Amino acid sequence: MLMGCYELKHVTEFTETSIEALQSYETLPQSFNQICKEDCQLKHVAKFNIHSTQCDCSPEVKADSITNIIYSTSLEYLNGLLAVSDKQLAKYQTADLTTTLSTGNYGSLKLNENDVKAYSTLSSLLLRTFSGINQRKKIKSYVIDGYQPFQQLLTFLELNVHGNIYGKLEVQKQSIKNFYFDHVNNKNLSTYERTKFAEDYFNALNNIEAQQKELDVFSEILLEIKAGHTLLYEHVEGLKNDEVKSGLARLGSRLSLAVRIISNLN
């Protein structure tokens, strides 16, 4: 017998909050391709080059494409969990989950076998669950089958969207420092010019650090969602327990706060 909507209200509410929080990905200020272009342009500016300034960022474009697919699949899983917990399967439509991913290095992004397997497993689960044949699939089975691949995809996002891009921004901070250093210390320039270069440097630095702050908060969002899903998995036989209700409420509050922080940073 399937659990009633009211009995799983706490699961539904946490899942709704998780969806809103995960969608913060769509407003993040940086991507692999964007950083590649900025780094390339900075090199041209440093050489006073305004001709032949093309930048080959095709590997980074592919990296962004893969990251978007991983994000979309993770979001679809949460939408599916929402549908199962709220017994609205008939209203749920899956997105296109037919894309095939292959292992490999795409710029600085590495897609390993575990990532590909997790994506494939989760995609198959979504298509199988909401094909209409298994429209009354229990939340218990959904959480158990989806636990490992969902955790893997969130780990992928944490390592690449936060760790990888954050690291690239650290390198970018050093690059702009090197770029402005000579100008700020060039005594052949006027005091006004040197001051203007210093102001430009700190403005650029503050902008990068604000972007890093958003990535930090997004990383926290991923960890909170992982923790909530682990709580569901570990108590899948007793989803109505008070421990589950209080745990999800606590994690949901943290996610809501993170969403507000990112909103204020934009």
The secondary structure element, H or E, covering residue 60 is helix 58-85
Structure tokens at 99: 């894309």
Comparison of pLDDT for 25 and 42, the residue scoring more: 25
Comparison of pLDDT for 156 and 237, the residue scoring more: 156
Mean pLDDT score, 233-261: 91
Cβ atoms of 17 and 252 within 8 Å: the answer is yes
Cβ atoms of 226 and 154 within 8 Å: the answer is yes
Helix (H, G, I), strand (E, B) or coil at 109: strand
In this prediction the pTM is 0.84
pLDDT digit string, tens, across residues 248-261:
999 999 999 999 99
Residue 18: per-residue pLDDT: 96
Burial class (CB in 10 A: 0-12, 13-18, 19+), 59: middle
Position 126 confidence tier, pLDDT thresholds 50, 70, 90: confident
Residue 110 has pLDDT above 80, yes or no: yes
Q: What is the DSSP string of 214-262?
A: HHHHHHHHHHHHHHHHHHHHHTTT-TTSHHHHHHHHHHHHHHHHHHHHH
Structure tokens at 85: 């917990």
pLDDT digit string, tens, across residues 51-96:
666 788 888 889 999 999 999 999 999 988 888 887 654 445 555 5
